[in-house]
Amino acid sequence: MPPIRSILSKQNPSLKQLRALLLKPQSNTDRLVAIEGFHLLEEALASRVPVKTIFVAAGRESTLDSLKIPSHIEILAVPANILAAAVSTEAPQPVAALIQQPDWSWKSLLDLPNPLLVILAGLQDPGNLGTILRSAEAFGATGAILLPGTVSPWNSKALRASAGSVFRLPILHASAEQCFAQLDTAGIQSLAAMAHDAQPLDSFPLTGPLAFIIGSEGSGLAPEIAARCQHRVTIPCPGPVESLNAAVAASILLYQAAQARAVQDQPEQARPAQARRSR
């Protein structure tokens, strides 16, 4: 483990940067991000995300013993009350860090066999965003695209809800024009997730290159975004519920696509009879 340096002042530049980035994610040009908690730090290190500085509450240095921390990383021991004042959680953990955002490109998302993307248009709840990113990684999505109006994936609540997926899933910010131009060029079908007036999801083939477009929690997809999509799909709900939570809907869509692709990849004789008949 690298040497641990003690600091006593809340005016330490690195500590001030931690505080500022927790208040305003992506408020710097260095692509630095602040994270809180042992689990997120463990995930960042395991995902080989560049870590600049680790903060640990004085007296809790042994918390880091199980981590494989490269020798070049700065570790600062901070009085517990000063560290608690710098972080944003009500029950602060004794560990925080400054990390570098992963640098993804369109090639990272699109130049892959059979892309499966999730596009978020105006999603505003950070917990929903983090949950969707976690589901996207779990169900084999190749990336996520965040359109204007969508909350930052580096928001502390989004980070926690993603459980580390934000470090590994390729994520890009783009305008609607740039996003749909890239989809068209790559031959990726765009499927608008709608509550009404749409094709039932189970009647749509989900095995080819496709992108699910998810709108905001309150009003769904904006009409101008929905109009750009090639298809509209809905999740049939037999119960008396008008619509699903955005994160729940996105997770179901991604799961269904993963299931369809898994069946497609099976040898012909191993596929369920219903799947063979539907070809």
- What is the rounded CA–CA span in Å between residue 116 and residue 209? 6
Q: Do residue 207 and residue 259 come from a single domain? A: yes
Residue 80 lies in a domain: yes
- What is the rounded CA–CA span in Å between residue 124 and residue 65? 37
Task: Show which of 62, 80, 100 is a domain's final residue.
Answer: 100
Q: Do residue 57 and residue 125 come from a single domain? A: no
Q: Which contiguous run of DSSP H or E holds residue 36?
A: strand 32-36
pLDDT, residue 258, reads 96
Q: Do residue 126 and residue 82 come from a single domain? A: no
pLDDT, residue 242, reads 74
pLDDT, residue 260, reads 93
Residue 164 lies in a domain: yes
Over the Cα atoms of the chain, what is R_g?
21
Residue 278 lies in a domain: no
- What is the rounded CA–CA span in Å between residue 14 and residue 51? 13
Task: Show which of 67, 100, 133 is a domain's final residue.
Answer: 100
Q: Longest C-alpha distance within the chain, in Å?
A: 70
Contact (CB, 8 A) for 151 and 125: yes
Q: Do residue 244 and residue 201 come from a single domain? A: yes
277 band by pLDDT with thresholds 50, 70 and 90: very low
- Give the SS3 label for residue 145: strand
| Chain CA centroid to CA 42, Å | 17
Q: Do residue 114 and residue 64 come from a single domain? A: no
Say how many domains are in the chain: 2
- Checking if the pLDDT of 190 tops 70, the result is yes
- What is the rounded CA–CA span in Å between residue 47 and residue 168? 7
Residue 279 lies in a domain: no
Q: Do residue 36 and residue 161 come from a single domain? A: no
Please write the tens of the pLDDT for every residue from 81-124: 999 988 866 677 899 999 999 999 999 999 989 999 999 999 99
Q: Do residue 64 and residue 165 come from a single domain? A: no
pLDDT, residue 272, reads 52
Contacts of 30 (CB under 8 A, 6+ apart): 100
Q: Do residue 58 and residue 157 come from a single domain? A: no
Beta bridge partners of 220: 216
129 band by pLDDT with thresholds 50, 70 and 90: very high
Q: Do residue 135 and residue 244 come from a single domain? A: yes
**Average pLDDT for 180-204:** 92
Residue 20 lies in a domain: yes
Q: Do residue 40 and residue 131 come from a single domain? A: no
- Domain with 246 in it: what CATH number? 3.40.1280.10
Residue 47 lies in a domain: yes
Task: Show which of 100, 130, 157 is a domain's final residue.
Answer: 100
Domain that holds residue 33: 4-100
Q: What percent of the chain clears pLDDT 90, i.e. is strictly above it?
A: 72
Q: Do residue 94 and residue 12 come from a single domain? A: yes
**Average pLDDT for 211-225:** 91
Q: Do residue 123 and residue 85 come from a single domain? A: no
- What is the rounded CA–CA span in Å between residue 109 and residue 182? 10
Mean model confidence pLDDT for the chain = 90
Contact (CB, 8 A) for 144 and 110: no
